[in-house]
Amino acid sequence: MLGFSHPWLLWLIAVIPVLLFFVRRAEKKKLKKLHESVHPQTLQRLFPENEKSCYKLKQILFILALGFMILASAGLRVGSGLKELKQEGLDVIAAVDLSTSMTATDIAPSRLDRAKYEVKRLISMLRGDRIGLVGFAGVSHLQCPVTSDYRTASMMLELMDKNLIPVQGTAFADALSTAINAFPDKESSYRAIILISDGEDHEQDIDKVIEEARNKKILIYTLGIGTISGSPIPIYNSHGDLTDYKRDNSGSVINSKLQEQVLRRIANSTGGKYYRLGAVRNPIESIYNEILHGDKNEYQTHEFARYTEMYLIFAWIAFILLMAAFFWPETRKSKTS
């Protein structure tokens, strides 16, 4: 099956006959003017009868070279076209807490920056698996649907910050519900959610969504970001300068601490596991290794089969034709009887 990398360039072939028309027209005008202004005997000396012009042959060589250059530029290739391939992998969704408490700096450079760094490391470890992203605070948002396009997932991760979710709070139930509904293959055998947060759940109504995850055999792993001693929540102005710390109604600075209880309960209730950043080395790698012990799903994807690129062959043919056109003599002696 023939194909082209840049098929739109084939339209340039239509330019060739137009170009040829104007060249021939210019030749006729030039020849007519020559006959009008030059004496016939002079013309006979300029163009002897025993010499035959090779101009038309050179012109054909140039046109053929141009045609092959267009084919080379269009990227002619030979292959079997599209085919459906089955890939095996895991479906993983990372749900990242984007609430204001995640801006605390007890984990450098901040809890949120470190959470995003861990997800970035997770993406770099994936091999044939699919990843999705959910951001949440008071409500949740599907930032990136489940995909095997790791570059797109990484770009969408960079856009996740505390300004993405206007409603503040930490709604685990809504985040987990969004993640559960984001899995595209309802019958797949192994799916996992990695919930990354400092654990300050202000909703406390997660039993129903935990039961849903358990019924659908979705494991939930949780990663706690923060310290037990805690840290104040910084407030920055529009220029990114620190202006104050978040305070309660009495004016006292709020000290945001890592709340492990709810994170541990979510993980244990679904057969997952809770990890705390700093308590173990490379927690995201440990979570991924845990997930790898599960059954892998087969999912279908469409991609191009391998093609044999032909552009170099046509480029060489065009080069040879151009060289022949340049070095071919203008005239040659005609055979005499």
Q: What angle do CA 72, 77, 81 make, to 5 degrees?
A: 150
Of residues 121, 118, 127, 131, the one with CA closest to residue 92? 131
Question: Taking 80 as the threshold, does the pLDDT of residue 287 lie above it?
Answer: yes
Q: Where are the strands (E) in 40-129, listed by range?
A: 51-53, 76-79, 82-89, 91-97
Q: What number of residues does the chain have?
A: 337
The answer to whether the beta carbons of residues 296 and 86 sit under 8 Å apart is: no
Q: What is the pLDDT of residues 120-164, one digit of tens each?
A: 999 999 888 899 999 999 899 999 999 999 999 999 999 999 889
Residue 192: partners with Cβ closer than 8 Å, 6 or more residues away: 90, 91, 92, 93, 218, 219, 220, 221, 272, 291, 294
CA distance 130 to 296: 11
Q: What is the 3-state secondary structure (H, E, C) of 205-217?
A: CCHHHHHHHHHCC
CB atoms within 10 A of CB 259: 19
* Average confidence score pLDDT of the chain: 82
pLDDT given for residue 42 in this prediction: 65
Q: Which residue has the higher pLDDT, 46 or 184?
A: 184
Q: What is the pLDDT of residues 81-103, one digit of tens each?
A: 555 545 557 899 999 999 999 99
Of residues 36, 29, 163, the one with CA closest to residue 102? 163
The H or E element containing residue 185 is none
Of residues 211, 217, 221, 212, the one with CA closest to residue 191? 217
- Whether a cis peptide bond, with omega within 30° of 0, leads into 283 is no
The alpha carbon of 141 is separated from its chain's Cα centroid by a whole number of angstroms, namely: 21
pLDDT confidence bin for 47, thresholds 50/70/90:
low
Report helix, strand or coil for 331. Answer: strand
CA distance 178 to 43: 88
Report helix, strand or coil for 287. Answer: helix
CA distance 254 to 233: 7
Domains present along the chain, CATH in parentheses: 2-81+307-333 (no CATH), 85-301 (3.40.50.410)
Of residues 5, 11, 1, the one with CA closest to residue 75? 5
Show the tokens assigned to 181.
């509904």
pLDDT confidence bin for 314, thresholds 50/70/90:
confident
The alpha carbon of 242 is separated from its chain's Cα centroid by a whole number of angstroms, namely: 35
pLDDT given for residue 185 in this prediction: 67
Show the tokens assigned to 262.
């709810």
Question: pLDDT > 90: what percent of the chain?
Answer: 42
pTM (2 decimals)?
0.62
Which of the residue ranges 40-49, 54-63, 132-141, 232-241 would you say has the lowest mean pLDDT?
40-49
